[in-house]
Structure 1
Amino acid sequence: MWHELGWQVLTVWLVTAAAMTVGWMVQYRTRNATLVDAIWSATMGLAALFYAAMGDGDPLIRGLLALFGGLWALRLFLHLLDRVRHEDEDGRYRYLREHWQDSQPKFFAFFQAQALFTTVFSLPFLAVGANPGSEQSSGWIAAALVVWLLSLSGEAIADRQLAQFRRRPDSRGRTCREGLWRYSRHPNYFFEWTHWFAYVLLAVGSPIGWLAILGPVLMLVSLYRFTGIPYTEAQALRSRGDDYRDYQARTSAFIPWFPKT
C-alpha cells in the first residue's frame, strides 16, 4: 500500500514543482509574486482531484473529496487570480522583494518551498481517497458536508466584504471593520482553517486517517507562525499605522468574537 501511495505523493510534488517553476518565471517578468498564492490554490485543487481519482476508497467518499477540494480550490484560485490581475503586488511580497534585493534565486527557492507545502498540505486528501467507508460513514459524511458548506460560505463572504471595502475611494489607509471583519481581524483565515476539518470527518475509517489531522494542525501553525497572520499584520501596521493598532486592540485576532468597546 505504501508503495502505491508513495508514487501518488511524488506525482503531486513533481507537478506542483513544475507549476511553481512556471509561476516563478512569470513573476520574474511581471515582478508580482502574488501569483504564488493563486498557483498554490490551483495545485491544491488538482491534488484533491488526483487523489480522488487514484484512491481505492469508497466511490461516494472519493466523489465528495473531488467536490469539496475542487470547488474550494476553484473559488480561492479565482479570487486570488483577480487580485493578481487588478492589484499591485501584495505588500508581504513587496517587503520580501526589498529585503532580498530582488534576488531571483531566493524567489525561486520560495516558490519551490510552496510546492513542498502543497505536497504536505494535500496529504489529508490522500487519507480521504483511501477511506473504504462503513455503515457509520453516513453520519460522518453529513457532518463533513455541514462543516464544508459553513466554512466555504464564511470564507467567500469575508473575501467579498474585504474586496468591496478595498474598492471604495475612502478605504485607503483605513481598516475594514465591516461584516465579519468586525468580529475577527482574519475571518477568511478562520474559515479556511475550519474548512480542513471537513476532510478529518471524511477520513474517519481510513487506514491512514491520521494524515487528515495534518490539515487543520498545519494550517493553524502556518497561519499563526509563518505565512498568515504575522506577515499580514506586519504589512497592515506599515500601511495603516495607528488605525490598525486600534483595530488590533479591539478585535479578536482569529476566532470571531464581539469587539471590545
Structure 2
Amino acid sequence: MAVAIRIRNHSIIDIFWGPGFVLVAAVSYWASTGAGGDDVRRTVMLALTAIWGLRLGAYIGNRNRGHGQDPRYTAIMRHRTGSLVGFLVRKIYGLQGVLLLVISLPVQLAMYEPRPLGVLGVFGIAVWLVGFLFEAVGDAQLARFKKDPANAGLIMARGLWAWTRHPNYFGDACVWTGLWLLSLGHPAGLVAVLSPAVMTTLLVRYSGKALLEKGMRRRRGAAFDDYVARTSGFFPLPPRR
C-alpha cells in the first residue's frame, strides 16, 4: 500500500492477487505438515494454485506495465472520504485481503484431508485444467490481438472470444470450482463452496464482466452491441449469426 500511495497507482495490487493465493497455499502446506493430510492431495493443491497464481500475476504485471492506474481504481479514489489509509484499507487493500482468505478456503482445507483424491479429486483436476486453458489461452489471444496496430479500435471476436465474451473470467470460475472439488473430502468442504460462488459473483456482477462491459458499451457503442448479440456472455456457446 505504501508503494502504491507513493507512485499513485493502486492498481498494482492486481499483480499480487494471484501470488497472494500462492502464499496462502504455501503457508497452509507448511502448517499442515505432519497433520495427517494426504500428501498427494496436498502437493496437487499447492501445485495447481501456484501454476494459476503465478501465471496470472506475471500476465497482469506485463499487461499493466507503462499504462498507469487502472480506471477502476481511479473511479474508487474519486469517492474518498476520511483519512487516506483508512479509506484504502476499507475499499481496496483490506477488502481484497478478506476476499482472498474466503476464496482460498478450499486450498486451506484440502491440506488437512487424509483421504486420497479419488474420482472426485480427479474430476476437480479436470475442471481446473479446462479453466486454466480457457484463462491462459484467452489472455494470450487477447494480448496478440492488441499488439497488432491493424486492430486498433476493433473488438476482439476471434478464437475463444467468439464463443464467450469473457473466456478468462469463465476460466477463473472453473479453476476455483475445480479447487473446491479437490477439497470436498474435508468435512467442511461444503462450506468452502463459498469460494467458487464468491469468485464467480465478483467476476460476473462486480469487478469483472459488468464493469468491463459498461466501459466497452460506452466506447464502442453499436459495434459492441453487435458483438453481444452474437456472443455468449459467460458460458462458452457456438457464436450466433
Displacement of 1:247:
1.4
Matched, 1:155 2:135: yes
Partner of 1:42: 19
Partner of 1:32: 9
Aligned positions of 1:242-261 closer than 5 A: 242-261=222-241
Matched, 1:51 2:28: yes
Partner of 1:122: 104
Cα-Cα RMSD: 2.0
Matched, 1:194 2:171: no
User: 1:50-103 CA deviation, whole Å, 9 max, x = no partner?
Assistant: 2122223111111111101111100001001112224343332333345559x9
Aligned positions of 1:154-233 closer than 5 A: 154-233=134-213
SS in structure 2 opposite 1:196? helix
Partner of 1:18: none
Partner of 2:217: 237
Mark the runs of 5 or more structure 2 residues left unpaired by the alignment.
none
CA distance in 1, matches of 2:10, 2:152: 22
Displacement of 1:145:
2.3
Partner of 2:113: 131
Number of equivalences? 235
Q: 1:65 aligns with which of 45, 53, 59?
A: 45
User: 1:127-178 CA deviation, whole Å, 9 max, x = no partner?
Assistant: 21121114xx332232222222222122100000111111121333221111
Displacement of 1:201:
2.2
Displacement of 1:104:
3.9
Q: Which amino acid aligns with 1:121?
A: I
> Could you say if the C-alpha distance between residues 239 and 197 of structure 1 is closer, same or farther in structure 2, counting changes exceeding 3 Å?
same
CA distance in 2, matches of 1:108, 1:244: 35
CA distance in 2, matches of 1:178, 1:26: 38
Partner of 1:17: none
Matched, 1:74 2:51: no
Residue identity over aligned pairs, in percent, reads: 32
Partner of 2:73: 93
Partner of 2:125: 145
Q: Which amino acid aligns with 1:179?
A: G
More helix per residue = 1
TM norm structure 2: 0.89
**8 Å CA contact 1:42, 1:73 repeated in 2:** yes
Report which stretch shifted further, 88-97 or 106-115: 88-97
